[in-house]
Amino acid sequence: MRTCLVVDDSSVIRKVARRILEGLDFQITEAEDGAKALEACKRGMPDAVLLDWNMPVMDGYEFLGNLRRMPGGDQPKVVFCTTENDVAHIARALHAGANEYIMKPFDRDIVTAKFQEVGLI
């Protein structure tokens, strides 16, 4: 079973994402900010990270930079999932190593399409 780390400071969003991704046969772990997500990645690299941008302690953009510099940190497919829905943010995310980008609000169809796009479904 593939694993996905869901990183978002909103417990509601984490719950919705968990429900969708479990329905797509992913095993889910959760983190509420970038720092906790990095700790989770040190314990074990997930196959995918669903990543919010704006979070306390460490935001998603900073997390992504740190992740990609870690040993094995180039492996997880990173899908941003954020309310930052302008071209400038999308371009920054792609430049930093994001594989896909979801603009909130999202639903099951969008998550499925994006995870298909990165080859995990």
Partner 1 sequence: MTPLDYEYLRKLLKERSGLDLSADKQYLVESRLVPLARRSNLAGIPELVQKMKGGAEPLTSEVVEAMTTNETFFFRDKIPFDHLKELLPGLAQARAARRSLRIWCAASSTGQEPYSIAMLLKEMTALFTGWRIEIVATDLSQAVLEKSRAGLFSQFEVQRGLPIQMLVKYFVQKGELWQLNADIRGMVQHRQLNLLQDLSHLGTFDVIFCRNVLIYFDQDTKAGIFAKIARMLEPDGVLALGAAESVVGITNVFRPYPDRRGLYQPSSAVARAGAAPHVLKAVASAAR
Nearer to partner 1, 71 or 109 (CB): 109
Query: Could you say whether residue 103 binds partner 1 (CB under 8 A)?
Result: yes
Query: Could you say whether residue 57 binds partner 1 (CB under 8 A)?
Result: no
Query: Could you say whether residue 90 binds partner 1 (CB under 8 A)?
Result: yes
End-to-end CA distance of the chain: 11
Query: Could you say whether residue 95 binds partner 1 (CB under 8 A)?
Result: no
Nearer to partner 1, 40 or 103 (CB): 103
Query: Could you say whether residue 113 binds partner 1 (CB under 8 A)?
Result: yes
Q: Is 74 exposed, middle or buried (0-12, 13-18, 19+ CB in 10 A)?
A: exposed
Q: Is 18 exposed, middle or buried (0-12, 13-18, 19+ CB in 10 A)?
A: middle
Distance CA 32, CA 28 (A): 13
Question: What string marks each residue from 16 to 55 as x (binds partner 1 by CB under 8 A) or -?
Answer: ----------------------------------------
Structure tokens at 93: 């995310």
Residue 41 contacts residue 67 (beta carbons within 8 Å) = yes
Query: How many residues line the site for partner 1 (CB under 8 A)?
Result: 18
- Residues in contact with partner 1 by CB under 8 A are 85-87, 90-91, 94, 100-103, 106-107, 109-110, 113-114, 116-117
